[in-house]
A = this chain, B = another copy of it.
Amino acid sequence: MRDYLYTVHQLPSRLIEAAVDQIATLPGIGRRTALRLALSLLRRDPERVHLLAESLIAMRDGVKPCSVCHNLTEEDVCSICLTDSRNKNLICVVEDIRDLLAIENIGNYRGSFHVLGGVISPMDGIGPSDLFISTLIDRISTLDGEAEIIFALPATMEGDTTAFYLFKKLAEFTGVKITSLARGVAVGEALQHADEATLSRSLDNRTIYQA
């Protein structure tokens, strides 16, 4: 039964087959889902399919990484780096764009970012040289006055390794404070559902109660 579920049948047209092959290259999309999506496209007006396809091409051709922070942008430098009111001496280091978007979404962070493009992961063959670490160091070395680098990296072995590596690299800079996102019980989360490590960290790093 299982086998049947994951078999994709021979398709009635090479064009459908080619499209299904292409759709199935997307992460998390298997051939069955790809077939479902292809058939749904075939039920649409051709104009709508053209619109979808052209939006993908326009995005890929028009969007590139910001030359400063590696955020995505249509220009050479992204809108966050271009905004004068944002603090250039406060740099939040994130793994990828979605983390940047999550922090931007809070709405009150007024510093800048640096997207590493990954975390150090020997298991996946990702070393420091695969990440945008040298550009971060270059940026920091050109800063005037006091600065703060916030590590907003994932709370995983890889995230911790990356943070530790960066911490060592940045030790040479005097006048640069290095901080990390607080770890603790999530807002709205029941204590009994928090894992031990998190609860322990939240106790160690308890904060002054503010009524």
Contact = CB atoms under 8 A, between A and B. Distances in A.
Interface of A: 1, 7, 9-16, 18-19, 21-23, 25-29, 33, 35-42, 44, 46, 48-63, 71-74, 78-80, 96-98, 101-102, 104-105, 186-189
Nearest to A102: B9
> Can you tell how many copies of this chain the complex includes?
2
Contacts of A37: 26-27, 29
A40 B26 contact: yes
Contact of A101 (B9, B25, B26, B63): B9
A44 B19 contact: no
Contact of A52 (B7, B25, B35, B42): B25
A78 B29 CA distance: 28
B63 A42 contact: yes
A98 B39 contact: yes
Contact of A56 (B22, B25, B96, B102): B22
A19 B59 contact: yes
A57 B63 contact: no
Given A22-B51, A22-B55, A22-B56, A188 B12 contact: no
A19 B53 contact: no
A42 B27 CA distance: 13
A104 to B, nearest CB: 6
Given A13-B62, A97-B39, A98-B35, A19 B74 contact: no
Given A1-B186, A13-B72, A63-B16, A40 B27 contact: yes
A54 B132 CA distance: 32
B72 A19 contact: no
